[in-house]
Amino acid sequence: MATFKYIAREMGAAGSARVTGLITSESEHAALDKLESQKLLPVELKEVRPRAGGSVGIRKLATAYTQLADLLGAGVPLMRGLEIITRQKSNPKLAPVFGEISKRVADGSDLASAMEDHPQVFPVVHVAMVRAGERGGFVESVFARLGELVEAQAEIRDKIRGSLIYPAFVVGVGSVIVSAIFFIFVPRFEKLIEQRLESIPAITEGVFAVGHLVTGYWWAFPLGGAALFFAVRWALGQPEWRERLAQWRSKTPMIGLLSREIAVARFCRLLGTMESNGVPLLRAMEIARQAAGDPMLERAIDDAIDAVSGGDSIAKPLAASGLFGDDVVEMISVGEASGNIDAVLLRLADTLEKRVSRRLDFAVELIGPSALLVLGVMIALIAVGLILPLTQLSSSA
C-alpha cells in the first residue's frame, strides 16, 4: 500500500476552495479512482515516500503526545512546546521530525498539515484529530487523547508479543533437541542396528527415514521458511490474496476469534476517539477504515459508510458483517439513539481489549503445554524407535 498526497476540487462546484489530504491505495491509478468516487477532481497527486530516519517507537510517540498536551495545558505556547520536544535526546528519530514541524508552523502552516508531511510517523487518524482540534480550539485535549490512544495500542501489541515468547521458546528449544537427536544419536544407532539386525521394526525404519531427511536436506527448512515468509508478505500486498488470507485466518480456531476481536477493538477505539475529538462521523469512519488492517472489517465499514450516508443506522451493516457480536451491536445502537456513540465506542474498546487480554492469557496457557506435549510425543517416538531394536538384540544375545 502506498500513500499519496493530493490537491483536488469538488466536482460540479465551480470556484470552490481546494481540498488537500492523504489517501492510501495500492497504486496511483487506484488512488485516482478513489478520489473520483469521493466526487473530487484531482489537481495534483504525488506519492509520499518515507523520509530518511524511518519510523519512531510507538511508545516514544505516545510520550511526545502526552508531554505536548501537558505543556499546552500549563500555558506553554505551541511553538515553544514543539521546540522543547525537538531538543529532547531520548529519541534521535523523533526529535528531527518535530523540528521540521516546528519550522513549518513558524512559516505559517497549520500543525495538521505539517504533521501530514510525515506519514511514516503520524497516521492519518492522528492528523485528522489534530486538524479537528485546531479548528475547534481544543488541541491540548486532542494530544492528551492521542497519547492515551497510542499507549493503548502499544499495550495490546506488547501483550500479543509477550504472549508469544513462551511458546516460541518451547518450540525453539524443542527444535534444537530434536535436531541434536537426529544429527548425533540416530546415525550412530543406525549403523549399530543395521549391522546386527536383519529385520528392523517399522517405527525404527520411520525414525531412520526422518533422520535421512533432516540430515540430508537440512538446508531446505530455512529456505522453505524464508520462501513462505516472502510469499505471505507478497500475498498481503495483493488485495485478492489479502482477502483470502483474512478469510482463512477467520476460520482458524482461536486465532480467528482473537484477530476479529482485536480488529473490532481497534475500530471502536479509533472511531470513538475521533468522534469525541470533533472529527465528523463519516470522515472518522473513512479514516478508521484505512487503519482497520482487516479486509473483512474494511468491507463492513464501507457498508456502514453507505448506510450512514443514506441516513440509516451504523449498527445494521456492522451486524450483517458477522464480525461484531450481538452485545457490541446492541451497545452501538443504544449509543446512536442516545447521541453518545463516542463514549459507548470507547467503553466497548476497553471491554474488548480486556476480553482479548483474557483470551491471550488462555491461549498461552494452552499453547505452552500443547507444544510440550508435541515435543514429548516426538521424543518418545524416537526413543521407542531406537530402543525397540536394542531390546531385540539383547533378547537374541
Using CA atoms, how far residue 160 sits from 56, 153, 247, 360, in Å, is 20, 11, 21, 7
Cell of 240: 485478492
Closest CA to 5 of 50, 49, 51, 48: 48
Share of the chain above pLDDT 70, in %: 90
Residue 48 exposure: Cα atoms within 13 Å on the Cβ side: 21
Q: Which CATH class is domain 166-397?
A: mainly alpha
Mapped onto helix, strand or coil, the DSSP state of residue 256 is helix
| CB-based contact 113:90 (threshold 8 Å) | no
> In the predicted model, is pLDDT for residue 391 greater than 50?
yes
Residue 26 pLDDT: 65
Residue 88 exposure: Cα atoms within 13 Å on the Cβ side: 18
Closest CA to 348 of 320, 303, 314, 312: 314
| CB-based contact 272:343 (threshold 8 Å) | yes
Region of residue 226 (phi > 0: left; psi between -120 and 50: alpha; otherwise: beta): alpha
Phi (first) and psi of residue 253, to 5 degrees: -55, 140
pTM, to two decimals: 0.63
Which CATH topology does 58-151 take? Receptor-associated Protein (1.20.81)
Q: Do domains 2-47 and 166-397 have the same CATH topology?
A: no
pLDDT tens-digit map of 143-202:
888 888 888 878 878 877 887 788 888 888 888 888 888 888 888 888 888 777 777 888
Architecture of domain 2-47: Roll (3.10)
Listing DSSP states for 112-147 in one string gives HHHHHT-TTTS-HHHHHHHHHHHHHT-HHHHHHHHH
Under 8 Å CB-to-CB from 309, ≥6 apart: which residues?
282
- The whole-number average pLDDT for the span 370-387 is 87
Closest CA to 20 of 105, 176, 106, 124: 124
pLDDT tens-digit map of 43-78:
777 766 544 334 567 888 888 899 999 999 899 998
> In the predicted model, is pLDDT for residue 297 greater than 70?
yes
- The whole-number average pLDDT for the span 263-269 is 84
Sketch the domain layout of the chain as residue ranges: 2-47, 58-151, 166-397
**pLDDT band at 227, cuts 50/70/90?**
very high
| CB-based contact 320:313 (threshold 8 Å) | no
